[in-house]
């Protein structure tokens, strides 16, 4: 590693810098610990979307890429706004090094002068975390910047045999108190910025090296299944949901068929039809209404079981609907709302336009494939089996009304 590592000085006025800044996420399909980890649903969204959303909303990059060898990862990354670099399978092996995969990407995009590698498995990156390293490189002349977390950990090293040890970063006779010690900086792997010139020398860090210090709560790396629930808790509390997600939700609309119900019609021996719903889902609707959010339902059916759902929930419901987006538009106009104040949860092709039109489209886990691609929140539960409650909790969380009853 070349040069000295220093932190960023205070902001200065912008300087002209016409270099092409490109962000890239390396996302191969062959993860062994968690299969297809990069697109597994984390807190309602594909894992890769958390890093992509932050990179896009940072508005600091000239291009944003996902390098992958897997068609499904490519498709989902494209839905979330990334350009796709089709990685040579030779560089998508278990034995492929990070430097090899990054070099292969860079060789395919000679227009990029400064590369930012964002770790897909570190979903707590925010736009402002990415803007600052760009500023440091443009204004302060850094050649490379990487993310670190400060830790207060006493390190010991092996000394000889029989488990003998020696202190590395402390004097055991004068152990410092935490508040009297600045701690040490550790790479957390969230992101690395570096120039093409450094990469051509086989380096990701070199020249004038800077660091960006992140608070510990943002430093999470998903490697095994044990890391997943921890990451989900952190993302729910500290994650970046996107600048376009308005926290002032006023109207939440749910399709009945396959969302409120489980999309199955049961027939008795007498030929009577009935459907089932989940009591927890209906409680979620009640919680939204208690928080002052208008809840309405739509259905393509008009049978008595559908009408019963409307009566049971006490929600305004429109049945026998052929154009759900038209109905949604009428409700938005009648209530004097903006589209970003609306959420919509659907499960089939007829729901896609309404989902895309609303400020936040959602889908159950068993929704049709195209519907899941269009969604910006995907429940881990199926329709009629808790998906609605998960989305209701998400709405209350982003609206800051989670604890209100």
pLDDT by residue (tens digit) across 342-389?
A: 999 999 999 999 999 999 999 999 999 999 988 999 999 999 999 999
Picking from 77-81, 158-162, 376-380, which range would have the lowest pLDDT averaged per residue?
158-162
Instruction: Quote the distance between the C-alpha of residue 55 and its chain's center.
Output: 11
Is 103 inside a domain boundary?
yes
Q: Per-residue pLDDT averaged across 43-67, rounded?
A: 95
Is 209 inside a domain boundary?
yes
Q: What is the model's pLDDT at position 274?
A: 66
The candidate with the shortest Cα–Cα distance to 323, out of 350, 361, 301, 352, is 350
Among 238, 271, 299, give the residue marking a domain's end: 238
Is 67 inside a domain boundary?
yes
Question: Distance between CA 92 and CA 102 in Å, rounded?
Answer: 11
- CATH number for the domain harbouring residue 375: 3.40.50.1000
Sign of CA dihedral 76, 78, 83, 87: positive
Q: Which two tokens stand for residue 200?
A: 């051509």
Question: Distance between CA 390 and CA 44 in Å, rounded?
Answer: 9
Q: Bridge partners of 212? A: 147
14 & 152 share domain: yes
230 & 275 share domain: no
CB atoms within 10 A of CB 396: 21
337 & 296 share domain: yes
Domain that holds residue 230: 5-238
28 is catalytic: no
140 & 270 share domain: no
41 & 181 share domain: yes
Cα-flanking dihedrals φ and ψ of residue 231, to 5°? -65, -40
226 & 363 share domain: no
129 & 34 share domain: yes
Q: How confident is the model at residue 403 (pLDDT cuts 50, 70, 90)?
A: low
Picking from 87-91, 125-129, 167-171, 298-302, which range would have the lowest pLDDT averaged per residue?
298-302
Q: Per-residue pLDDT averaged across 180-193, rounded?
A: 94
141 & 266 share domain: no
**Which residue out of 19, 175, 247, 356 is catalytically annotated?**
175
Q: Per-residue pLDDT averaged across 51-61, rounded?
A: 96
* DSSP-derived secondary structure letter, 260: I
Is the Cβ–Cβ distance between 213 and 184 less than 8 Å? no
Among 238, 267, 292, give the residue marking a domain's end: 238
Is 377 inside a domain boundary?
yes
Q: Per-residue pLDDT averaged across 275-281, rounded?
A: 86
Who contacts 127 (Cβ-Cβ below 8 Å, separation ≥6)? 54, 55, 57, 58, 59, 60, 240, 243
Question: Distance between CA 316 and CA 105 in Å, rounded?
Answer: 52
Do β-strands 316-318 and 294-298 pair in parallel, antiparallel, or remain unpaired?
Answer: parallel
Question: Distance between CA 253 and CA 285 in Å, rounded?
Answer: 10
Q: What share of the chain is helix, strand, coil (3-state, %, to 5)?
A: 35, 20, 40
Is the Cβ–Cβ distance between 382 and 391 less than 8 Å? no
Give the highest mean pLDDT range of 23-37, 120-134, 218-232. Answer: 120-134
Is 244 inside a domain boundary?
no
Is 32 inside a domain boundary?
yes
Q: What does each C-alpha distance from 72 to 37, 125, 172, 256, 259 come to in angstroms? A: 12, 23, 53, 29, 25
Is 243 inside a domain boundary?
no
Is 405 inside a domain boundary?
no
The residue whose two tokens read 């990059």 is 61
Strand order in the sheet with 342-345: 316-318, 294-298, 251-255, 342-345, 360-363, 377-378
Tally the domains of the chain: 2
Q: How confident is the model at residue 7 (pLDDT cuts 50, 70, 90)?
A: very low
Across the chain, what does the average pLDDT equal?
89
The candidate with the shortest Cα–Cα distance to 2, out of 149, 188, 183, 195, is 195
Q: What does each C-alpha distance from 103 to 41, 192, 202 come to in angstroms? A: 29, 14, 9
68 & 192 share domain: yes
218 & 353 share domain: no
- CATH number for the domain harbouring residue 92: 3.90.550.10
Q: Which two tokens stand for residue 365?
A: 């886990």
Question: Distance between CA 89 and CA 146 in Å, rounded?
Answer: 28
Q: What percent of the chain has pLDDT over 90?
A: 68
Is the Cβ–Cβ distance between 193 and 209 less than 8 Å? no
The candidate with the shortest Cα–Cα distance to 116, out of 129, 124, 322, is 129
230 & 272 share domain: no
Among 238, 259, 277, give the residue marking a domain's end: 238
36 & 169 share domain: yes
């Amino acid at each position: 590693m070349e040069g000295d590592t220093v932190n960023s000085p205070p902001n200065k006025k912008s300087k002209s810098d016409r270099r092409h800044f490109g962000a890239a996420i390396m996302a191969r399909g062959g993860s062994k610990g968690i299969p297809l980890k990069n697109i597994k649903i984390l807190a309602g969204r594909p894992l890769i979307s958390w890093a992509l959303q932050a990179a896009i909303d940072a508005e600091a990059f000239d291009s944003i890429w996902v390098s992958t060898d897997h068609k499904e990862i490519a498709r989902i990354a494209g839905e979330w706004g990334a350009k796709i670099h089709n990685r040579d399978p030779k560089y998508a092996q278990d034995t492929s090094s990070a430097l090899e995969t990054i070099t292969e990407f860079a060789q395919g995009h000679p227009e990029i002068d400064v590369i930012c590698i964002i770790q897909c498995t570190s979903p707590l990156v925010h736009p402002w975390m990415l803007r600052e390293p760009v500023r440091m490189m443009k204004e302060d002349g850094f050649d490379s910047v990487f993310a670190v977390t400060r830790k207060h950990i006493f390190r010991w090293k092996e000394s000889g045999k029989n488990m003998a040890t020696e202190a590395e970063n402390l004097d055991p006779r004068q152990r410092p108190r935490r508040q009297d010690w600045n701690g040490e900086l550790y790479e957390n792997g969230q992101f690395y910025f570096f120039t093409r010139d450094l990469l051509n020398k086989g380096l990701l860090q070199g020249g004038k090296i800077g660091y960006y210090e992140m608070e510990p709560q943002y430093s999470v790396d998903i490697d095994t299944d044990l890391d997943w629930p921890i990451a989900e808790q952190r993302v729910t509390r500290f994650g970046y949901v996107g600048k376009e997600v308005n926290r002032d939700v006023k109207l939440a609309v749910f399709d009945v068929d396959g969302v409120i119900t489980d999309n199955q019609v049961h027939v008795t021996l007498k030929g009577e039809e009935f459907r089932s719903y989940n009591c927890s889902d209906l409680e979620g609707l009640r919680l939204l209404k208690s928080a002052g959010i208008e809840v309405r339902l739509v259905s393509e059916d008009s049978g008595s079981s559908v009408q019963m759902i409307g009566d049971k929930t006490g929600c305004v419901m429109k049945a026998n609907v052929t154009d759900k987006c038209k109905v949604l538009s009428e409700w938005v106009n009648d209530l004097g709302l903006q589209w970003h104040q609306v959420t919509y949860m659907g499960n089939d092709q007829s729901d896609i336009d309404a989902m895309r039109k609303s400020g936040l489209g959602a889908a159950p886990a068993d929704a049709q494939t195209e519907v899941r691609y269009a969604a910006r929140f995907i429940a881990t539960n199926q329709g009629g089996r808790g998906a609605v409650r998960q989305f209701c909790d998400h709405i209350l969380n982003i609206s800051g009304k989670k604890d209100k009853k």
